[in-house]
Amino acid sequence: MRKIFLVVFVFVSIIADAQIYKGQFMVGGNASFQTSKGEDAPDDSRITTVEFNPNIGYFFIDNLAGGLRLSLSSYKEKEDDEGFTSLLAAPFVRYYFLPAAQKVNLFADASFGVGSIGGDDKESFNQFSISAGPAVFLTPNTALEFGIGYSSQGGDAFGGEKRYNTIGLNIGFQIHLGGASSSSK
Protein backbone atom coordinates (compact mmCIF):
# COMPACT_ATOMS: atom_id res chain seq x y z
CA MET A 1 0.00 0.00 0.00
CA ARG A 2 2.83 2.40 0.83
CA LYS A 3 4.41 1.77 -2.57
CA ILE A 4 1.18 2.66 -4.36
CA PHE A 5 0.84 5.86 -2.32
CA LEU A 6 4.48 6.78 -3.06
CA VAL A 7 4.04 6.21 -6.82
CA VAL A 8 0.86 8.34 -6.89
CA PHE A 9 2.53 11.06 -4.81
CA VAL A 10 5.57 11.22 -7.12
CA PHE A 11 3.39 11.18 -10.26
CA VAL A 12 1.20 14.05 -9.04
CA SER A 13 4.29 16.01 -7.97
CA ILE A 14 5.86 15.67 -11.42
CA ILE A 15 2.84 16.56 -13.59
CA ALA A 16 1.37 19.52 -11.68
CA ASP A 17 2.46 23.10 -11.14
CA ALA A 18 2.06 25.08 -7.93
CA GLN A 19 -1.60 26.02 -7.54
CA ILE A 20 -1.68 29.80 -7.23
CA TYR A 21 -3.89 30.48 -10.24
CA LYS A 22 -7.24 32.22 -10.56
CA GLY A 23 -10.00 29.92 -9.34
CA GLN A 24 -7.85 27.97 -6.88
CA PHE A 25 -8.64 27.63 -3.17
CA MET A 26 -6.14 27.85 -0.35
CA VAL A 27 -6.74 26.17 3.02
CA GLY A 28 -4.24 26.12 5.85
CA GLY A 29 -2.86 28.33 8.51
CA ASN A 30 0.02 28.97 10.83
CA ALA A 31 1.01 28.83 14.41
CA SER A 32 3.17 31.40 16.10
CA PHE A 33 4.92 32.28 19.32
CA GLN A 34 5.39 35.95 20.18
CA THR A 35 6.59 38.11 22.99
CA SER A 36 5.66 41.78 23.28
CA LYS A 37 5.98 44.77 25.55
CA GLY A 38 2.96 46.96 26.29
CA GLU A 39 2.93 50.70 25.78
CA ASP A 40 3.20 52.46 29.19
CA ALA A 41 3.25 49.03 30.87
CA PRO A 42 4.38 48.93 34.50
CA ASP A 43 7.70 47.27 35.29
CA ASP A 44 8.48 46.57 31.63
CA SER A 45 5.66 44.02 31.55
CA ARG A 46 6.14 41.32 28.92
CA ILE A 47 3.39 39.23 27.37
CA THR A 48 3.88 35.80 25.85
CA THR A 49 1.41 34.79 23.14
CA VAL A 50 0.73 31.47 21.46
CA GLU A 51 -1.54 31.64 18.40
CA PHE A 52 -3.25 29.27 16.01
CA ASN A 53 -4.49 30.90 12.79
CA PRO A 54 -6.48 28.74 10.35
CA ASN A 55 -7.49 30.35 7.05
CA ILE A 56 -9.40 29.76 3.84
CA GLY A 57 -8.81 31.81 0.71
CA TYR A 58 -9.67 32.06 -2.97
CA PHE A 59 -7.45 33.24 -5.85
CA PHE A 60 -9.37 36.05 -7.55
CA ILE A 61 -6.57 36.48 -10.09
CA ASP A 62 -3.31 34.61 -10.60
CA ASN A 63 -1.03 35.04 -7.54
CA LEU A 64 -3.60 37.11 -5.56
CA ALA A 65 -5.84 35.49 -2.95
CA GLY A 66 -8.31 36.88 -0.46
CA GLY A 67 -10.13 35.14 2.32
CA LEU A 68 -10.86 34.83 6.02
CA ARG A 69 -8.49 34.00 8.85
CA LEU A 70 -9.52 33.09 12.36
CA SER A 71 -7.11 33.59 15.21
CA LEU A 72 -7.26 31.84 18.54
CA SER A 73 -4.69 33.17 20.99
CA SER A 74 -3.57 32.49 24.52
CA TYR A 75 -1.89 35.32 26.42
CA LYS A 76 0.18 35.08 29.58
CA GLU A 77 1.71 38.08 31.32
CA LYS A 78 5.13 37.56 32.92
CA GLU A 79 4.14 38.87 36.35
CA ASP A 80 0.55 37.55 36.35
CA ASP A 81 -0.48 33.95 37.08
CA GLU A 82 -3.75 34.39 35.22
CA GLY A 83 -3.92 34.34 31.44
CA PHE A 84 -6.70 35.00 28.98
CA THR A 85 -7.72 34.04 25.48
CA SER A 86 -8.89 35.89 22.40
CA LEU A 87 -10.79 35.08 19.23
CA LEU A 88 -10.40 37.21 16.10
CA ALA A 89 -11.95 37.08 12.62
CA ALA A 90 -9.89 38.87 9.97
CA PRO A 91 -10.32 39.17 6.21
CA PHE A 92 -6.94 38.93 4.47
CA VAL A 93 -5.23 39.44 1.11
CA ARG A 94 -2.12 37.59 -0.01
CA TYR A 95 0.12 38.07 -3.04
CA TYR A 96 2.74 35.66 -4.43
CA PHE A 97 5.49 37.54 -6.27
CA LEU A 98 7.10 34.83 -8.44
CA PRO A 99 5.64 32.72 -11.28
CA ALA A 100 3.66 29.67 -10.17
CA ALA A 101 6.20 27.17 -11.51
CA GLN A 102 8.72 28.17 -8.83
CA LYS A 103 9.35 25.63 -6.04
CA VAL A 104 10.02 28.56 -3.68
CA ASN A 105 7.82 31.62 -3.96
CA LEU A 106 7.74 34.85 -1.95
CA PHE A 107 4.48 36.13 -0.47
CA ALA A 108 3.16 39.18 1.35
CA ASP A 109 0.01 39.02 3.47
CA ALA A 110 -2.11 41.72 5.14
CA SER A 111 -5.23 41.51 7.30
CA PHE A 112 -7.48 43.61 9.51
CA GLY A 113 -9.89 42.03 11.97
CA VAL A 114 -12.02 42.45 15.05
CA GLY A 115 -12.46 40.15 17.98
CA SER A 116 -12.99 39.70 21.69
CA ILE A 117 -10.49 39.11 24.44
CA GLY A 118 -10.53 38.36 28.14
CA GLY A 119 -11.42 35.86 30.80
CA ASP A 120 -14.87 36.20 32.35
CA ASP A 121 -15.33 39.78 31.11
CA LYS A 122 -14.91 39.93 27.32
CA GLU A 123 -13.83 43.16 25.65
CA SER A 124 -13.51 44.02 21.97
CA PHE A 125 -10.32 44.79 20.08
CA ASN A 126 -9.00 45.22 16.55
CA GLN A 127 -5.80 44.04 14.91
CA PHE A 128 -3.86 44.99 11.79
CA SER A 129 -1.22 42.51 10.59
CA ILE A 130 1.29 42.24 7.79
CA SER A 131 3.73 39.45 7.08
CA ALA A 132 6.05 38.23 4.34
CA GLY A 133 8.34 35.34 3.62
CA PRO A 134 9.04 32.32 1.46
CA ALA A 135 6.53 29.58 0.62
CA VAL A 136 8.33 26.32 -0.12
CA PHE A 137 6.14 24.08 -2.32
CA LEU A 138 6.78 20.56 -1.06
CA THR A 139 4.37 19.30 -3.71
CA PRO A 140 2.44 21.31 -6.31
CA ASN A 141 -0.50 21.56 -3.91
CA THR A 142 1.18 21.94 -0.51
CA ALA A 143 3.44 24.68 0.75
CA LEU A 144 5.41 25.14 3.94
CA GLU A 145 5.63 28.84 4.79
CA PHE A 146 8.05 30.82 6.91
CA GLY A 147 7.18 34.39 7.74
CA ILE A 148 8.16 37.43 9.68
CA GLY A 149 5.29 39.64 10.69
CA TYR A 150 4.18 42.80 12.42
CA SER A 151 0.84 43.29 14.15
CA SER A 152 -0.78 46.12 16.06
CA GLN A 153 -3.67 45.51 18.47
CA GLY A 154 -5.85 48.09 20.17
CA GLY A 155 -9.38 48.87 21.29
CA ASP A 156 -11.41 48.65 24.49
CA ALA A 157 -9.49 45.57 25.65
CA PHE A 158 -6.28 47.60 25.63
CA GLY A 159 -7.53 50.73 27.35
CA GLY A 160 -8.92 52.48 24.27
CA GLU A 161 -5.90 54.58 23.31
CA LYS A 162 -3.13 52.04 23.95
CA ARG A 163 -1.84 49.67 21.28
CA TYR A 164 0.38 46.61 21.47
CA ASN A 165 2.82 46.33 18.61
CA THR A 166 4.42 42.95 17.97
CA ILE A 167 7.08 41.55 15.69
CA GLY A 168 7.23 37.79 15.39
CA LEU A 169 8.18 34.73 13.38
CA ASN A 170 5.73 32.08 12.27
CA ILE A 171 5.59 28.86 10.33
CA GLY A 172 2.57 27.80 8.34
CA PHE A 173 1.19 25.24 5.95
CA GLN A 174 -1.15 25.78 2.99
CA ILE A 175 -2.98 23.35 0.73
CA HIS A 176 -3.92 24.69 -2.72
CA LEU A 177 -6.97 23.03 -4.33
CA GLY A 178 -9.46 23.09 -7.18
CA GLY A 179 -10.20 25.44 -10.04
CA ALA A 180 -8.18 26.03 -13.19
CA SER A 181 -4.64 24.78 -13.62
CA SER A 182 -1.65 26.03 -15.56
CA SER A 183 -2.35 23.49 -18.33
CA SER A 184 -5.63 25.30 -19.11
CA LYS A 185 -3.92 28.68 -19.42
| Fold adopted by 17-179 | Porin (2.40.160)
Q: Taking the domains of the chain in order of start, what are their residue ranges?
A: 17-179
pLDDT at 31: 82
Percent residues over pLDDT 70 in the chain: 80
C-alpha 178/C-alpha 113 separation (Å) is 27
Mean model confidence pLDDT for the chain: 83
pLDDT at 78: 72
In this structure, which amino acid lies at residue 13? S
pLDDT at 5: 44
3-state helix, strand, coil in the chain (%, to 5): 10, 65, 25
- Ranges 13-17, 92-96, 144-148, 160-164: which has the least confidence: 13-17
